Structure 1
Amino acid sequence: MREALSNPFAADPATDLRIDDPSLVVLSSGATTLVVAPQVGGSIAAYGERTNTRVLHWLRPATRAALAAVNPLQMASFPLFPYCNRIRGARFAFEGRAIDLAGDGNRFAHALHGHAWRTPWRVGARTATSVELHFEHVPDAKATGDWPFRYRASQRIELIGGALRVTLEAENLSAGPMPFGMGHHPYYPRTSNTVVTAQVEQMWHADDHVLPTHLGPHPAVDALARGMSADAFDLDNNFSGWARSATIAWPDEGREVTLTAESPFDHMVVFAPANEAQLCVEPVTNTTDCFNANEDSRERAGYRVLQPGETIRAALAWTPRRV
């Protein structure tokens, strides 16, 4: 009984997460509990609200096995630095310089999600409802495929009532300019009744490697505006012209959570593969492979360069609601 009271996930069939794990940071606000796993790439492990009968998970919760495996892809959400999604062949050119990331330990053929998600983050200031996480990358000239730019990143993760707010910040510590992008990669509970609603203008169509081919119309654009079933399409695509708000709803459960984002999180990724239980609606500053975009499409792709000493900072929020 004591465990059930102290750990809202103790009798939860969705996860066997133990919040007494000393490696975790647990935040609490009223009936809402947020679990942060700094050692697993600065990830959020769980975000749920306790009711009289169950825990309502606003993000898909991690399991004890996922924590033991230090697997960010099985967390509730993880940060994306210093770029989002894939880079074709793990290579791109920047200011006449060839950047090769193929040997940085990323096991994917196309460099994926940067590297900060595969590295422990340091815990900074914390309260009962907030925590700051810090990460600094110092390039290793002797390491094959290392990101060759030095930068500092931080996350401020906080509960404001039942809402979750994450503020991402990065500073270019290099002597020269640095290409850059950031985002967060949240997973949501997916059922046969899950609905995603968002205002977008166009979709980046992709090839078999999930790399963009062209920007154009798609039935998912109109479906999202009306409220799209998570099962409607086989999606792993970027959307442009995002209004920086998206709602993930479970109508049969009478609940929904709304994601809102500040600029420059002007792009949204929907990962809703057919015949799988995964669902991601991701706020990002850049589209897939934006560092290889040609000059005509760079602005549309969110291509961004931070000058020496320049800082970028923007917040995301998830606000739950019973309906």
Structure 2
Amino acid sequence: MRDASLNSSSAVASGDAALDDPSLVALRSGNTELRVAPQIGGSIAAYFEATEAGPVHWLRPATRAALDARNPLQMASFPLFPYCNRIRDARFDFDGQSIDLSGDGNAFAHALHGNAWRRAWRVGARSATSVELHLEHTPDAAIAGDWPFAYQAQQTIELVGDVLRVTLTARNLADRPMPFGMGHHPYYPRTADTVVTAAVDAMWHADLDVLPTHLGAHPAVEALRHGMPADAFDLDNNFTGWKREAVIAWTDERRKVTLSADATFGQMVVFAPASEALLCVEPVSNTTDCFNSPADARENVGGAVLAPGETITGVLHWTPARY
């Protein structure tokens, strides 16, 4: 099942981005602005440059309908905790225990993107250019399939000049080790002239449920290295060997945004379906279904195990430019 969402290009072209909604946290640095939706999964609702001709969006903006639906899949980007992408049949074994995540309210056949994106986040410290968002998860025995490990998560979302910087932090509050992954899920405006460039080594091929089957070569690997049109392939795949930088360019508009990530985010997902005008280039710390990966594949799937009290932090940047 693909991630359902809005048509990227139509949302931008129609001008119905909900930039003035009072429920959003508004940040500004010069002509660059952010809108953050703490109550909708701690999401970013818009990231854009304000111009006399109207906003120029670096991420696909949320619309009024998207905010009313309170659906993070229709935001500009949302956080992924405590794992990224799918877990087959919502089950995995860890530390001698069988973990069953089915029935926790996740509407997908395979557990998807963790639970933080389906929770309201608390607003902490804020300024004109930054905001902290906080989430604390305590397992609830009354909820079937609830994530069984307590953890804290924090996002610091800020504008540094015209650069969007997002710092993700998590801490294991449980009294036992916790399997863990994190990332962000940005949607970009997609047009016929959108090109993605990223140095990668291989691609995880996937089945019809978008679950990985094997790691290997694919024409998209070479295409990404040299600049891949967003329309080139039907993709919803993880890429390994990512050098932690990706450029999304709108060649007809002579503008681009560069995504850069620190070492925490060693994996990259490209979601560019043939059937919808959607485009995601996602920095993540683990591949799809990493908790079920065999031991001999672990070096290619990422993820981590956090000891009790252990904290992990990762930093992401989106840098816009014109050329």
TM-score normalized by the length of structure 1: 0.95
Partner of 1:113: 113
Partner of 2:257: 257
CA distance in 2, matches of 1:147, 1:211: 21
CA distance in 1, matches of 2:140, 2:34: 35
Partner of 1:277: 277
How many angstroms does 1:19 deviate by? 4.1
Partner of 2:267: 267
* 2:62 counterpart of 1:27: no
How many angstroms does 1:303 deviate by? 3.1
CA distance in 2, matches of 1:83, 1:138: 16
Q: Deviations over 1:34-80 (max 9, x none)?
A: 00000000000000002232321000000011111101000000000
> What one-letter code is carried by the residue in structure 1 that aligns with 2:133?
L
How many angstroms does 1:264 deviate by? 1.4
Q: Number of residues paired by the alignment?
A: 312
How many angstroms does 1:95 deviate by? 0.9
CA distance in 1, matches of 2:318, 2:303: 26
Q: Name the SS for the 1:253 alignment partner.
A: coil
Partner of 2:191: 191
Q: Is the 2:266–2:285 contact (alpha carbons within 8 Å) kept by the matching residues of 1?
A: yes
Q: Is the 2:18–2:62 contact (alpha carbons within 8 Å) kept by the matching residues of 1?
A: no
> What one-letter code is carried by the residue in structure 2 that aligns with 1:156?
T
Q: Is the 1:88–1:111 contact (alpha carbons within 8 Å) kept by the matching residues of 2?
A: yes
CA distance in 2, matches of 1:68, 1:92: 34
Partner of 2:88: 88
> What one-letter code is carried by the residue in structure 2 that aligns with 1:92?
F
How many angstroms does 1:18 deviate by? 4.2
How many angstroms does 1:149 deviate by? 0.1
Partner of 1:64: 64
CA distance in 1, matches of 2:125, 2:322: 32
CA distance in 2, matches of 1:18, 1:271: 24
Q: Name the SS for the 1:209 alignment partner.
A: coil
Partner of 2:45: 45
Partner of 1:7: none
How many angstroms does 1:300 deviate by? 1.4
Partner of 2:147: 147
Q: Name the SS for the 2:221 alignment partner.
A: helix
CA distance in 2, matches of 1:210, 1:18: 31
CA distance in 1, matches of 2:104, 2:272: 28
CA distance in 2, matches of 1:20, 1:190: 23
Q: Name the SS for the 2:252 alignment partner.
A: helix
Partner of 1:5: none
* 2:297 counterpart of 1:297: yes
> What one-letter code is carried by the residue in structure 1 that aligns with 2:268?
M
Q: Note the residue ranges of structure 1 that are not aligned, 5 or more in a row.
A: 1-11
Residue 198 to residue 296, structure 1, CA distance change in 2 (3 Å)? same
How many angstroms does 1:32 deviate by? 0.8
Q: Percent identity?
A: 70
CA RMSD, aligned part only? 1.0
CA distance in 2, matches of 1:14, 1:317: 28
> What one-letter code is carried by the residue in structure 1 that aligns with 2:216?
G
Q: Is the 1:244–1:261 contact (alpha carbons within 8 Å) kept by the matching residues of 2?
A: yes
CA distance in 2, matches of 1:17, 1:53: 15
Partner of 2:76: 76
CA distance in 2, matches of 1:158, 1:256: 19
Q: Is the 2:103–2:145 contact (alpha carbons within 8 Å) kept by the matching residues of 1?
A: yes
Q: Name the SS for the 2:66 alignment partner.
A: helix
CA distance in 2, matches of 1:113, 1:14: 29
Q: Deviations over 1:135-173 (max 9, x none)?
A: 000001221000000000000000011110000000000
> What one-letter code is carried by the residue in structure 2 that aligns with 1:260?
S
Q: Note the residue ranges of structure 2 that are not aligned, 5 or more in a row.
A: 1-11
Partner of 1:8: none
Ranges of 4+ aligned residues in structure 1 off by more than 6 Å: none
